[in-house]
Chain A
Amino acid sequence: MRFIALALLVLATAGAKLLASEAARPVDFARDVRPILESHCFDCHSGTEAESDLRLDLARSALDGGNSGPAVVPGKADESLLFLRVNTSVQDERMPPIDGGDPLSAEELAVIRHWIDQGAKVPQDETAAQARRTSDHWAFQPVVRPSADHLLGEWSSTRTARTPLTNPIDAFIAAKCYENNIAPSAEADRVTLIRRLSFDLRGLPPSVEEVDAFVADDRADVYEQLVERLLESPQYGERWARHWLDQARYADSEGYTNDVPRSIWPWRDWVIAALNRDQPFDEFIIDQIAGDLRPNPTVDQTVATGFHRNTQHNREGGSDPEQYRVERLADRVSTTADVLLGLTMGCARCHDHKFDPISQREFYQLYAFFDNSDEPEYRILTPEQRQQREELQQQIAALEKERHELEQRLREQLPKRTVLEPTTATSPGGATLQTQADHSLFVSDEQKKQLEATLLESDAGYVALRKQLDELRGREKQLVEGAPSTLVVQELAEPRTTYIHLRGDFLSRGRQVQPGTPAVLPPLTIAGERPTRMDLARWLVSPKNPLTPRVTVNRLWQAYFGRGLVETDNDFGTQGIQPTHRDLLDWLAAEFVAGGWSLKHMHRLILTSATYRQSSSARPELNEIDPRNLLLARQSRHRLEAEVVRDAALAASGLLSLKIGGASVYPPQPEGVLDSDRTWNVSTGEDRYRRGMYTYFWRTAPYPFLKAFDAPDSNTACTRRDRTNTPLQALMLLNDEVFVEAAQGLAARVLADQSLADDNARLERAFRLCISREPGESEIRRLGELLTAERAALPDDAAMPVTPAVERFPSGASRKERVAWTSVARALLNVDEFITRE
């Protein structure tokens, strides 16, 4: 016992000696400090993926510091985070953390203190250049176009003869199928093909006439021509805009608790138009991320920035506006990364990404690009309205000048009129004016204004002028307020300073950051002195960006096959699922860029492939080898999206309006869906029958039909929709007013069609209006049985719900016939095949 105490005493003395000598002798970072840091800190704080971005293996980066700011203040150990954190007695604060190693000894602390107090000199041989973050993860590597030549062979299914491959897509797919000893499927029949194409490109079923013409056409390139025709149809823009709206979290209200209405549909319409004119995808993105920073931005480019105004907005009483501005910005970063980069950037908001090489600092560097924006409302005037407005403004300016001059003249008369010598006076406004020694009245500024106003208003010419001005201003206001408004982004003149939010808390400021992009990706090129959102936009769609083209073509693939080549379409990071056909993915990405980022070019390529044209029928032998159809030896069969289900019903019934764009509309919905203080005035006329994508979307009370069929809630970016199969969907299709009305419309349509000779012809027509193909014998028989049973069971005065569609029945049709045929129509609108894309 005594021996131990003695030994401790000796050690302590030695320590004291060391302390004394350290103070005198210059401390060298490499020789003295680094070994201490190495043994206590390097596990977390060294290299390019250091925690909190604090790297202590280099003196220069220790000075520079991490997320919390500079770690060292040269000459002042007691003000240096590095020293304070290792020296503190507060357990929660101390580094290394309790479970992360032993605390530093007194000697070690002394060494660090002296190094700092002596000026924290950086070793001469330490270079400033920090090693860049690198990764060998596949998705971060450049896209290199693989050759398909060696693969080109023949497409052979069990049922058709071999056909030579001309489309590289097929070469990649077929090669992998053959590797696994399976053969691709034969081409689907023509009716299935036109129905599939029509749903995929227009979101609508083909008309019976279109089907017949396509089936009868024996030109060699009839399929290719159909693809062209559908790509040129205006409904193509609507269909593909909806995919984009999902990702942009588009809705018609602000969300959160108050969820007040907003007007941003002009942005939605801009998307439709941009897709219809096949605006190159890189330009499409640049306009949306930074359209306001284009030189002299056009109306379209301004409206396009609405992409990032689709964030929710919290106006709850007692909420801190800055807190929710920060939420919107964080959403913009996450959404940009989800949608374009396929990266789960949101994970890095509070701490460095756990799996991917993305630091918290990099999250806030991206955030900094968006931090400088203002969020105004923007009125969209037509060119005529703009001209009218300019004319009004000119008139106003001229009259203002006139008024100003008159005012001057009248003011000059002011002293001449005050010749009285009152003792006190009361102004017209009721103020008591003090008489001064020189007999003038002392008038405060406020009082002076009142006096002048009274004076001016007593001049008839002035009053006339003012009235004229008021009127013109009123007209201008009316003009502007009558124009549709939308939400846009506008750069602030003075940039905000952006800080890291420690632990994601907006009140805990860490170090300041400059706008920048993740180091693991190709470097950012900047056009001016400071990186701007425009630089970010260009970087996102730079041909060198390995992610954006891959992610984008993968989503196209996902829409056409039900699953992307990378199944985790929004996670191309290290936790994502590897691509099933990496060579094909890269080929498509390279082709996308080479083709000038034309989406239509990519659609064309995929749609004309044999892979796309395969039958989707299940093949029992594939259940064993490839149950999830990853090899794509057949097409996939899947339920239509919510809006498409609605549109298909309205199309079959002949009720559908094809009007494009405009403010969102209010089709019938059951009562009681909205809170009592919200209104839903059901639209009339053709707006009752608009496509599903135009249905007004309240974030907190979405249109029930859309929700039941897995439409996204629009709160966060949705890059892939769910496809469920639930009893609530059955209730919707069976009982919802919209579907009852569609059934009536369909029944009326076949009853009114004079070309249909008998029940069978009518049944067949109704079937084809819904399902496109000819019904099978058993199907037509079963529908006939239903019709017969209805006629037998229904009373002569059978009733049905009253909707506007009832007026479409031919007057000669009896009540019983109307109802019986409506039952048949309801059955057709409820069969699985009707809501399925095969």
Chain B
Amino acid sequence: MSINMPQTDTVQRLLRREFLHQTGLGLGSIALSSLMADDGLLAGDAAATPAVLNPLAPRLPHFAGQARSVIQLFMAGGPSQLDLFDYKPALQKLDGQPIPDSYVKGKRFAFVTGVPKCLGTVRKFSRHGECGAEISELLPHIAGIADKITIVRTMHTENFNHGPAKLLAQTGSALFGRPTIGSWVLYGLGSESHNLPGFVVLTSGPRGPRGGSYLWSNGFLSSVYQGVPLRSKGDPILNLANPHSVQSDQQRRVLDAVRDLNTVRLETTGDQEIAARIASYEMAYRMQSSAPELTDLSQESQQTLDSYGAKPGEASFANNCLLARRLVERGVRFITLFHTDWDHHGNKGTDLQEGIERTCREVDQSCAALISDLQDRGLLDETLVVWGGEFGRTPVGEQRDVIGRDHHIDAYSVWLAGGGIQGGQTLGETDELGFYAQDRKQSFAIHDLQATILHCLGLDHRKLTYRFQGRDFRLTDVAGEVIQKALS
């Protein structure tokens, strides 16, 4: 259903003026350049195109990047790389034995105390695809796309508590107040979607991703860059639906009156903020129809639904993966999916037996389906997909209800696929117990991964800066090297 907007003389005049404004010809051109200076765009980056009144307007990258969008599959809690991607025969042999002191001298763990004992995996690993990537039986579908992904087995991070580690993974700092990667990307590139937010967050799993809004915060960037959670129950976006029993024609009548009253006020005060307000209301109205259309999975073929394991109306990671593809199709820049419950310490329900099996079942098929589906639709080349948690899990066991693994920060696995990434390879080797990277130079930090993600989008992580409190801040702080070998 579409409703025609009456184009009154005032609106015509307004549109004309906005055109002048946008082309920098009108009276507002000076105000415009000062607005841009506010955003740090003129100072920070000459390649950036004008933001005009809309700070979300698309901007050119620093150089031609392969990817236009990012789907981040955040496996909250810390998946056990040793049961999924990093097979260690020596660890099997030493199972139950104390780990040599040289590994753990002076080492702090979140929970493990006493003399830590090695814990081998009970999972069978085999080689997959032409590349022969070693992947465990827990992830049969992901194994099926081995040739499309690059596994990095030697990631490391700095903090072994979930909260700060997630913060670091998302913002490049374990301190509060910094923007998350989605906000940085939106700030750098703007959004190509005119009726959906540019940075969307989807969550699934038994509970929210603990840490909540920190993980999609705009930090010190303008809050127009904050992530917008898309909800699986109720309105997809908060307050998206008209108030109960308000019909859409009634809503439109109210909106028309609002627009006309705002236009009168714009004439009186000459404040361009009012023009921006009018535009915001129109976008909100468009969102009211585009967001429900977006989340209506019944439009998808049964074949597609089955491939993801998605069921319309259900709150699941599978549905979220399918939604992520639909968001990419609609020009949304950055999509973060959080799936919780990878924290397999060995408590009842969160263990390395049924616990990890269940979590793997929840994500495996839909992750693989997402990659294949993007490829079938010709979107994989321009969509970067990143899979991983805030850290991995220890090669030593942790005794709880049953034996499990503690948080491990020195070596863990992630994988990337799609825009800008050379699929079909495994990077980095851990030592024989999977504790550290074999070669320090092949150990990758969070900032390296972030630099790589930005690189795939055509952004130079050293140039994507924002001046705050007298300093040019970066997502990658003062570090970060693009993981060149991962690139296509």
Contacts and interface: CB of A to CB of B under 8 A. Distances in A.
> Which 10 A/B pairs are nearest by Cβ-Cβ distance?
A575-B470, A318-B110, A700-B212, A730-B284, A618-B270, A715-B176, A257-B163, A727-B284, A716-B177, A799-B245
B239 A831 contact: no
A670 B281 contact: no
Contacts of B108: 320
A726 B265 contact: no
Contacts of A700: 210-214
Contact of B269 (A319, A627, A794, A838): A838
B302 interface: no
Interface in A132-173: none
B254 A257 contact: no
Interface centre among B31, B239, B245, B471 (most CB of A within 10 A): B239
B234 A782 contact: no
B427 interface: no
A776 B242 CA distance: 29
B257 to A, nearest CB: 4
11 contacts: A344-B471, A637-B271, A672-B231, A675-B207, A715-B176, A724-B224, A725-B277, A734-B255, A785-B257, A800-B244, A827-B258
Interface in A783-797: 783, 785-786, 789-790, 793-794
B19 interface: no
A713 B177 CA distance: 9
A707 B469 CA distance: 22
Contact of B30 (A318, A627, A823): A627
A729 interface: yes
A338 to B, nearest CB: 8
Given A713-B213, A831-B262, A731 B271 contact: no
B212 A735 contact: no
A618 B243 contact: no
Given A347-B471, A778-B264, A637 B162 contact: no
Interface of A: 256-259, 312, 314, 316-320, 344, 347, 354-356, 568, 570-571, 573-576, 616-618, 620, 623-624, 627-628, 637, 639, 670-673, 675-677, 698-702, 704, 707, 710, 713, 715-716, 722, 724-732, 734-737, 740, 776, 778-779, 782-783, 785-786, 789-790, 793-794, 798-801, 823-824, 826-827, 830-833, 836, 838
B90 interface: no
Interface residues of B, number: 80
A826 B253 CA distance: 11
B407 interface: yes
B212 A259 contact: yes
B212 A833 contact: no
A701 B237 CA distance: 15
Query: A732, A823, A832: which has the most chain B beta carbons within 10 Å?
Result: A832
B94 interface: no
B289 interface: no
B110 A727 contact: no
Given A571-B470, A827-B261, A726 B280 contact: yes
Contacts of B262: 831-833
Contacts of A831: 258, 261-262, 265
B287 A783 contact: no
Given A729-B280, A786-B257, A832-B265, 17 more contacts: A316-B162, A318-B160, A570-B469, A618-B270, A637-B273, A675-B208, A677-B207, A698-B212, A701-B208, A716-B176, A716-B177, A731-B284, A735-B242, A735-B243, A736-B239, A786-B256, A830-B254
Contact of A832 (B111, B231, B273): B273
A736 B238 CA distance: 8
A318 B407 contact: yes
Main secondary structure of the interface of A (DSSP, over half): loop
B280 A782 contact: no
Nearest to A258: B210
B239 A617 contact: no
Interface string B145-173: 00000000000000011111010000000
Contacts of B264: 776, 778-779, 782
Given A700-B214, A716-B177, A832-B265, A731 B240 contact: yes
B110 to A, nearest CB: 3
A319 B254 contact: no
B246 interface: yes
B274 interface: yes
B233 A672 contact: yes
A256 B34 CA distance: 37
A574 B234 contact: no
Contacts of B222: 722, 724
Given A672-B234, A823-B253, A727 B241 contact: no
B260 interface: yes
Given A623-B30, A627-B34, A794-B250, A727 B257 contact: no
Nearest to A795: B247
